[in-house]
A and B are shown apart, each in its own frame.
Chain A
Amino acid sequence: MSQLLDHDLLARLGAIPAEARVPMLGNVAGKHRSPHRGSSVEFAEYRKYVPGDDTRRLDWKAYARSDRFYIKEFEADTNLRVYFVVDNSGSMNFSDKGISKIDYARRIVANLAYLFVNQGDAAGLSVCRDTLHIEIPPRRRPAHLQLITHTLESLEPKGETGLVAALHAVAEKVGQRAVIVILSDLFCDTPALEEALQHLRYRKHDICMFHLMDPQEIAFHFDRPHRFVDMEDNTTLVVEPNLISDEYQAALQEFLVNVKVACHNVHADYQLVTTDTPLEPLLRDFLLNRLPKKGKR
């Protein structure tokens, strides 16, 4: 088994179902709500009988009360497809003291994929640099997990971010509704990112965003002049961090707000994550937050 998987963690989180927030269109029966009516035990609604309906589904008790024919309908349960879109650009390789953003993303993807597959859902993987360069279609087989984890382990972050183009490509390629889990530092043009998310939303996908940041990128704590080398295009800049820390924080705050607003506009499940955050509470909160509220399904 891959080292990316934390079995204790998976054992503790296994009891929490991984849900989608929108009805899914699966090809087999599963645990997830479908937009279609089906044969589950979950009552959906009454509707008037029309000729041609199966008379076995007539609610005779309702006919006895109202002298009218009603068909009793139930929810259909299906499985879902989850697509993990991982940013593999150079900036994802950054780490100050702890693990890099790409390592953190690997662990999230591997463990979530395990949880989804384990409950009968299909998991796929898309990896992008300047373009979408790895695509693993979603499968329900447990053996498929090995392919995903092997692919994750082999990732080498480099190049510039092509996340926006990759998301547009995913939106075009994934025809049926799916859960799209994006893991990136989002160092790209925010308005363009919002357009890509709108595209996904238009395709009725359930979007989850793991915005990965290194703690040092947020704190920006340096005590002397540094020569900063851009990890994507090798641009260099010599600055005195003390002099520009306020402006840096202001720019960062503006960026974070813009990203959050963009995700909010598309009803995406946004998570700002620093790489020093323990994985278990992060995934537990993620799963719990996705559970349907009481009385809703």
Chain B
Amino acid sequence: MSFYQQPLLWFLCAAAIPVIIHLLNRRRHKTVQWAAMQFLLKATRESRGKKKLRHILILTARALGIAALATAAARPMIGGLLGWGASQVDTVVFILDRSASMETTADQASQSRRELAIDRVKDAMKSLDATKLVLIDSATSTPQDIPSPEALAEITNTKASSAAADIPALLQRAAEFILETKPGRTEIWIASDMQYADWDKDSERWATTRASLASTPQKTSVRILSLSTPSKSNISLSILSSHRSSDDLLLDLEVIRSGDSSSALNLPLTIALNGTKTTDSITIPGQTLRFQKRIKLPKDQVEGQGWLTLPSDANPNDHTVFFTYGAARPVKTLIVSAAGEAASYLAASAAPPGFAGQSSETIAPSQFLTKVNSLSDYAAIIWSAPLPDEGMTLPLNTFLTTGGHVIFVAPQENSTSTFNKIAWSPISTAPEGKFFILKNWNHDDGLLRDSLSGTALAGQTMKAIKRQIPTAPAGTFSTLAAWDDDSPFLTRLVMERGTAWFIATTPNYTWSNLGDAHLLLPALQRAVLAGSARFDSALLADVNRGDALPRNNETRTRIDDYIIDQKSDATFSAGVYRLGERVIATNVPVSEHEPLSIQKAELESIMQGVSYRTFEDTSTTSTASEEREIWKLFLAGVLFFLIAEALLCLPKPVKDSPTLANQKPKAI
């Protein structure tokens, strides 16, 4: 509930007047000498209770009557944004979440959540005279003055986008804007569908945002319009990765189905490849389906683009994915190792003969510097030798930071050299008749994670006679698998876009059974594929992120033939774009498909110390929750309290003046 004439609420203090009068009246009593004290004492004892309650009720009715009158004079409003926002402020900073998920249409609704939010704010702003409106939308994150609320629905920055929203960043931007411009009494209004990923409760930005909000000159309050009404049945399609293998394009796709998912659903999947459309069908057995779509590419075309789409549903922005492809690049692995059994196993696992055009090249450590200039052609480097010296470390670091993967395996000899503070321990041997056994490993992350189908790798078969443990100051790397004595077996050091892996033994039967391929083959293949992904990643990006953003002097042109909605902002729509000389397919971020919402407790946690209110808008039309003035209700309340007070004050039936005649004792 809010008020058009908020200053009049000061008159609420007048509610204390009856109580003050009562107290003053009690204080200015008159003193009389009295003889019949015994009746007074008895009457006082017996009057505690009903009479006092009646008196308290009278006082309460008077106080509430005045309070209701003051409230009615302040013109209270409820419903819609009225209860949510309208109050006396100089500036409203409106943060609009126009992420892809905001295009969802609620069940039985005709407008998307974004359109509803705009209508709500438009109506609320009409009630606020002379209040300045500043828009910060989730796609541009740039404050923009809005001349009139009517313009909100018309400007480009409120149109639909396929990008994600970073609410903590937007809130921080709003706080910075307030600090920079000092716009007087300011409120921040956030319209969002409360999507878990957009609010990113674990973001480190929240601390800064809270501090920024606290440092604003006048305490800024935040009002959150939550548009999380359940949507109609919706099916979203997202692309996890694309990879060209010879004449095939392999697309890892995911379908998420919201609403009733108790029965399998058969849907047509339309595929457009370089302007040629074909239709396939997919069956979604439950809520989620992950599958790989293999698209046969024309032999005469080195590069191309296309899109896949499912039938339109509650959200027109999340059922189409775009892709592009270029010439297939060979997947090569460089093995730095002295010749021997370990080198053979590593080469066979990194590039199994005849598998997907993969290849490997084995060189001695001393030859590594000759390959420095061509390292960018390799997907991964396997280092089975003492750690590189200073001269070799620099190109290896460059390889790692640009997205390459380096797998260090135990060098089989003691060495004191280090790589980014990590060193190999001296060789340790298991006691006679015993083995080092792999005990724990991360099933969700790393090279030994479970497969897409959920099958775990056969880590329990891993045994070693000898080992060399990677050592480093605490916090340098993370351990993803450990021996039975808790010393690390597999560790990871992330270096910008690339990763260095350390395996604490080697595929040599005098050392371990790592060469049996239960672990080595999938682990190295995963590392190699991850390393080669950087060749394809330049072709696929999330809207408004990373490679999708134009670089210096790059002009941006859409080249796909998908017809976009008029409601969409073309700048932030998913599609295939030519940026200068490169072509990139941009898609709705996968996180936008997640149906998870941030919970109240989590919201409280991240907004700790910030004055905020949440309005749950469950209506489905723009007029459903328009504000209503309810001063009449309060006037009725005044009437009610006055009548109640009058009834309580009504004197009892008048008795005759007590004289001797009528005060005769009752009959005995």
Contacts of A227 in B (CB 8 A): 29-32
- Does any Cβ of A come within 8 Å of B600's Cβ? no
Say yes or no for A226: interface residue by CB 8 A criterion.
Answer: yes
Q: Tell yes or no: A28 within 8 A of B by CB.
A: no
Which of B26, B34, B46 is A247 in contact with, Cβ under 8 Å? Answer: B46
A277 at the interface (CB under 8 A from B): yes
Query: Size of chain A's interface in residues, with CB distance under 8 A?
Result: 48
Q: Does A256 contact B (CB under 8 A)?
A: yes
Provided the pairs A215-B658, A224-B25, A272-B664 are in contact, do residues A239 and B31 lie with their beta carbons within 8 angstroms?
A: no
Given contacts A219-B657, A243-B51, A247-B46, A94 and B34 within 8 Å (CB-CB): yes
Pick from B38, B51, B55: contact of A187, CB under 8 Å: B38
Question: In the bound complex, how far is the Cα of B655 from the Cα of A246, in angstroms?
Answer: 11
- How would residues 154 to 176 of chain A score, 1 for a CB under 8 Å from any chain B CB and 0 otherwise? 00000000000000000000000
Interface residues on B, range: 20 to 34
Which residue from B28, B55, B657, B660 sits with its C-beta under 8 Å from A272? B660
From B30, B35, B38, B658, contact of A231 by CB (8 A): B35
- B41 → A minimal CB distance (Å): 7
A247 / chain B contacts, CB cutoff of 8 Å: 42-44, 46-47, 51
Asked if residues A244 and B43 are in contact (CB atoms below 8 Å), the reply is: yes
- How far does the alpha carbon of A277 sit from the alpha carbon of B38 in the complex, in Å? 24
Question: Is A217 part of the contact surface with B, judged by Cβ < 8 Å?
Answer: yes
A230-284 at interface with B (beta carbon < 8 Å): 230-232, 235, 237-240, 243-248, 250-253, 255-257, 259-261, 264, 272-274, 277
Residues of B within 8 A of A225 (CB): 25-26, 28-30
Given A251-B43, A260-B665, are A226 and B36 also a contact pair (CB < 8 Å)?
no
* Residue pair A272, B32 in contact (C-beta under 8 Å): no
- A253→B43 CA distance, assembly (Å): 12
A185 within 8 A of B: yes
Is the beta-carbon distance between A230 and B659 smaller than 8 angstroms?
no
The yes or no answer to A91 lying at the interface (CB within 8 A) is yes
Q: How far is the CB of B106 from chain A (nearest CB, A)?
A: 58
Selected contact of A219 from candidates B33, B51, B52, B658, CB within 8 Å: B658
Tell me whether A253 and B665 are in contact (CB under 8 A): yes
Contact B31 A229 (CB under 8 A): yes
Instruction: List chain B residues, Cβ under 8 A from A231.
Output: 33-35, 37
What is the bound-complex CA distance between A276 and B603, given in angstroms?
79
Interface on chain B toward A: helix, strand, loop, or mixed SS?
Answer: mixed
Is A77 close to B, CB under 8 A? Answer: no
- B663: Cβ under 8 A from any A Cβ: yes
> When the two chains form their complex, are residues B26 and A240 in contact, meaning their CB atoms are under 8 A apart?
yes
What residues of chain A lie closer than 8 Å to B47, measured between beta carbons?
A: 243-244, 246-247
Interface string of B1-39 (1 = CB under 8 A from A): 000000000000000000000000110111111111111
Cα distance, A230 to B51, chains bound together (Å): 24
Q: Known: A187-B36, A227-B32, A248-B43. Contact between A272 and B26, CB under 8 A?
A: no
Q: B504 → chain A, closest Cβ, in Å? A: 89
In the assembled complex, A19 has its CB within 8 A of some CB on chain B = no
Cα-based distance from A91 to B38 in the complex (angstroms): 11
A46 within 8 A of B: no
- Interface contact A226-B51, CB-CB below 8 Å: no
- Give Cα A227–Cα B40 distance, bound, in whole angstroms: 11
Q: Establish whether residues B37 and A237, one from each chain, have CB atoms under 8 Å apart when the complex forms.
A: yes
Residues of A within 8 A of B31 (CB): 226-227, 229
A63 CB-CB contact with B under 8 Å: no
Of the residues B32, B652, B663, contact of A229 by C-beta under 8 Å: B32
Is B26 a contact partner of A264 (Cβ separation < 8 A)?
Answer: no
A253: chain B residues at CB < 8 Å are 665-666
Shortest C-beta distance, B658 to chain A (Å), equals: 5
User: Could you say which residues of chain B place their CB within 8 Å of the CB of A251?
Assistant: 38-39, 42-43, 46
A43 at the interface (CB under 8 A from B): no
* B563: interface (CB < 8 Å): no
Task: Name 26 interchain pairs, CB-CB below 8 A, sorted by A.
Answer: A92-B35, A94-B33, A94-B34, A217-B36, A218-B659, A219-B657, A225-B29, A226-B29, A226-B31, A227-B29, A228-B32, A230-B37, A231-B37, A238-B29, A239-B44, A243-B51, A244-B43, A244-B51, A246-B47, A247-B46, A247-B47, A250-B43, A251-B39, A255-B38, A257-B665, A259-B665
Q: A187-B38, A232-B37 are in contact. List 17 more A-B contacts (CB 8 A).
A: A92-B35, A94-B33, A215-B658, A228-B34, A229-B33, A229-B34, A231-B33, A231-B35, A238-B29, A243-B52, A248-B39, A250-B46, A251-B38, A251-B43, A252-B36, A253-B666, A274-B659
Residue numbers of B with Cβ under 8 A of A are 25-26, 28-44, 46-47, 51-52, 55, 652, 657-660, 663-666, 668
A binding-site residues for B, Cβ under 8 Å: 90-94, 101, 185, 187, 214-215, 217-219, 224-232, 235, 237-240, 243-248, 250-253, 255-257, 259-261, 264, 272-274, 277
Q: Which 9 A-B pairs have the closest CB atoms?
A: A247-B43, A91-B35, A94-B35, A228-B34, A225-B29, A248-B43, A244-B43, A251-B39, A230-B37
